[in-house]
């Protein structure tokens, strides 16, 4: 499998995943044009993309989905709750390109097994995804109010995980531009994972066999890539993991493709 983020952060998210048989996107939260440009810039062929899988209906995940689906003529996969939440946001799509999936029920796209799992987040029926092919598996787990047992179980043993490290709680609490209700929402159990909570999750995942951790969905205002990295690095190191040897650690850029992983 090849895996990278094209965009990551509260301003827009998209993940590219390919096997020898084809590729898919998880979310398309920037415009279709920006996403196609990002793929081309990273040397990835948009014609390979056969599906778009949605995590949940928030605009930073779905903004470009409708146009992308129409441009490429490809189906969109989402839970029933997410379809309801997206309402008319996607515009017209033929019924054959509207696929309903269920958290906890795996399905196949070509040779790729897709396992959607429930995540704690303030959306109708949000999911993360784990992908399996042969012996290898990778996973996407962002927009997590907390690192629930369901999420932990779903990710256990994955080699490569895109893991949320959204904010520094002190920066968030001090931010004068954020109203209190938004702070409460982000810090709540259906909000977003802080750097510390992400770091704690990173340690557990490394202990469960993760070899590559990619931190993502950083807040633009309440975090920095350096803070997210240092927090996870410190936690992994103090748990006895050699970063760069036992496990690699990177931060997904907001507006640029990440490293292209091959597992
Ligand atoms: Zn969200
Ligand atoms: Zn989001």
DSSP string, 180-199: HHHHHHHHSTTS--BHHHHH
pLDDT score, position 159 = 98
- Cα(190) to centroid(ligand 1), Å: 9
- Confidence (pTM): 0.97
Average pLDDT over residues 28-48: 97
For 112, the 3-state DSSP assignment is: strand
Ligand at shortest distance from the CA of 11: 2
Give the angle 198-201-207 at the CA atoms, nearest 5°: 145
pLDDT score, position 123 = 98
Is residue 206 within 8 Å of residue 160, measured between CB atoms?
Answer: no
pLDDT score, position 122 = 98
- Cα(245) to centroid(ligand 2), Å: 30
Ligand at shortest distance from the CA of 56: 1
Residues 48, 172: Cα–Cα separation, whole Å: 40
- Cα(143) to centroid(ligand 2), Å: 5
- Residue 259's pLDDT band, with cuts at 50, 70 and 90, is very high
For the stretch 55-92, pLDDT in tens is 999 999 999 999 999 999 999 999 999 999 999 999 99
Residues by chain with Cβ below 5 Å of ion ligand 1 = 58, 143
- Cα(217) to centroid(ligand 1), Å: 10
Pairing of strands 127-133, 112-118: antiparallel
- Cα(23) to centroid(ligand 1), Å: 24
- Residue 179's pLDDT band, with cuts at 50, 70 and 90, is very high
In the chain, what percentage of residues exceed pLDDT 90? 98
């Amino acid at each position: 499998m090849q895996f990278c983020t094209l965009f990551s952060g509260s301003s827009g998210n998209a993940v590219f995943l390919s096997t020898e048989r084809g590729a898919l996107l998880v979310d398309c939260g920037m415009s279709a044009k920006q996403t196609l440009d990002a793929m081309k810039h990273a040397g990835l062929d948009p014609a390979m993309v056969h599906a778009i899988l949605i995590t949940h209906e928030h605009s930073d995940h779905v903004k470009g989905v409708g146009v992308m689906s129409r441009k490429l003529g490809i189906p969109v996969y989402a839970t029933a709750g997410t379809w309801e939440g997206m309402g008319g946001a996607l515009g017209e799509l033929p019924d054959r390109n509207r696929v309903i999936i269920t958290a906890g029920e795996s399905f196949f796209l070509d040779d790729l097994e897709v396992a959607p799992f429930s995540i704690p987040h303030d959306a109708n029926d949000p999911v993360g995804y784990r992908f399996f092919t042969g012996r290898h598996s990778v996973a996407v787990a962002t927009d997590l109010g907390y690192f629930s047992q369901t999420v932990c179980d779903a990710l256990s043993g994955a080699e490569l995980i895109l893991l949320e490290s959204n904010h520094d709680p002190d920066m968030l609490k001090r931010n004068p531009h954020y109203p209190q209700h938004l702070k409460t929402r982000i810090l709540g159990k259906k909000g977003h994972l802080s750097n510390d909570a992400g770091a704690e999750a990173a340690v557990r995942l490394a202990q469960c066999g993760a070899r590559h951790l990619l931190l993502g969905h950083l807040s633009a205002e309440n975090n920095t890539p350096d803070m997210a990295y240092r927090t996870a690095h410190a936690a992994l190191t103090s748990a006895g993991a050699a970063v760069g040897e036992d496990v690699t650690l990177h931060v997904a850029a907001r507006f640029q493709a990440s490293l292209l992983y091959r597992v």
